[in-house]
Amino acid sequence: MKQWRPTSPEIWQGRDDSAEADNALRLFQTISRSSYFCPAQQPGDIALLGFACDEGVRRNRGQTGAAEAPVVLRRALANMASQPQHPRLNDLGDIFVEHQDLEQAQQALSEAVIACQRAGKRTLVLGGGHETAWGHGLGVLDAFPQDKVGVINLDAHLDLRSAPQATSGTPFRQLARYCAAQQRDFHYACCGLSMAANTQALLDEAARCNVLIIEDLHCLSSPAQAIAQLEQFMAQLDRIYLTIDVDVLPAWEMPAVSAPAALGVPCAILLQLLAPICRSGKLQAVDLVEFNPSRDRDGYAASVAARIAWQVVRWWG
């Protein structure tokens, strides 16, 4: 596998309570870790991958630092309780970028995702900037060419930008164009969107692509209606790719991003939105992106992001 490295065993460390009871376990004690990339020969039905890249953020004129997120998030996850669902996780290491060659790193991520999905695994990717979504989404689409694959993006931003090269702001425009070239329908829902953070040009592109938009204000005032809209969107699909940009959270909960949200959707409501997606039976792939450890002063934001990932695995049907 190109541009791949295994996860250091030193990352998966935590408090050992096993003397208390046989099942007093934490994630660092139950996750399996691979020293080589061969998904078909590894235990666990959820492949955990890191995408150690923020070149797309740099190109999008954002604040870099998200390349360090996969290591930091693993450390935050390591000491969390391991419940019966969590031993399904198999850490298959990181894809990384070399010499600012984002496109090659995205291709490597896509190939890794295809290999995992075709081996019968689901994929949980820790980004990285939102450029993660082009590689991850492409891998899911190519792994299931005959299926209706839909994208649910929990995000303050549409990320449908037009740019001369790929950035963290272009992934869903790239996926839309790829689907058009493949003569496939592009199914895309953006939930938690901030109207204040998206230009009219982006909203026009969303309308052209028939994107389902659920605003942050709607999530805050009527979460049950937002869930109903997501369920209606999911009903038409065979498989779902879920991407969670942590800048959908309010700045007071998630300051450690390139673009903190002035309003945002609090974690408690975000988890309400996540539950039916995870339990739908259609969820094939998830990523968590845009967490920037360099802006996390006390480690609190890492704990918030890791709790979301932990909850996704617990609910993943």
For 114-166, what is each residue's pLDDT tens digit?
999 999 999 999 999 999 999 999 999 999 999 999 999 999 999 999 999 99
Looking at residue 242, its pLDDT comes to 99
Torsions phi, psi for 126 (to 5 deg): -100, 110
Q: How far apart are the first and last CA of the chain?
A: 29
Contacts 24+ apart (CB under 8 A), 213-221: 213/158, 213/189, 214/189, 214/190, 216/156, 216/192, 216/248, 216/261, 216/263, 216/264, 216/265, 217/263, 219/191, 219/192, 219/265, 219/269, 219/273, 220/263, 220/265, 220/269
Question: How many residues make up the chain in this entry?
Answer: 317
pTM over 0.75: yes
Looking at residue 84, its pLDDT comes to 94
For the chain, what is the mean pLDDT? 97
Mean pLDDT of 178-190: 98
Residue 252 is which amino acid? W
CA distances from 48 to 34, 117, 126, 250 (A): 10, 12, 8, 26
CB neighbour class for 317 (10 Å; exposed up to 12, middle 13-18, buried from 19): exposed
pLDDT exceeds 90 at position 193: yes
What's the pLDDT tens digit per position in 42-59? 888 999 999 999 999 999
What's the pLDDT tens digit per position in 59-69? 999 999 999 99
Q: Which domain holds residue 254?
A: 4-315
Alpha-helical regions (H) of 24-144 = 27-30, 55-59, 69-78, 102-118, 132-143
CATH (domain of 32): 3.40.800.10
Looking at residue 237, its pLDDT comes to 98
Mean pLDDT of 7-14: 96
Confidence bin at 2 (pLDDT 50/70/90)? confident
What's the pLDDT tens digit per position in 224-251? 999 999 999 999 999 999 999 999 999 9
State the angle between helix axes of 132-143 and 102-118 in degrees (0 to 180), rounded to the nearest 10. Answer: 40
pLDDT exceeds 80 at position 310: yes
Give percent of the chain above pLDDT 90: 97
User: Around 127, how many Cα atoms within 13 Å sit in the side-chain half-sphere?
Assistant: 32
Q: How many CB atoms lie within 10 A of CB 18?
A: 12
User: Around 145, how many Cα atoms within 13 Å sit in the side-chain half-sphere?
Assistant: 6
Helices (H), strands (E): how many in the chain? Answer: 11, 10
Number of folded domains that form the chain? 1
Looking at residue 204, its pLDDT comes to 98
CB neighbour class for 290 (10 Å; exposed up to 12, middle 13-18, buried from 19): buried
What's the pLDDT tens digit per position in 58-117? 999 999 999 999 999 999 999 999 999 999 999 999 999 999 999 999 999 999 999 999
Looking at residue 312, its pLDDT comes to 98
Mean pLDDT of 171-198: 98
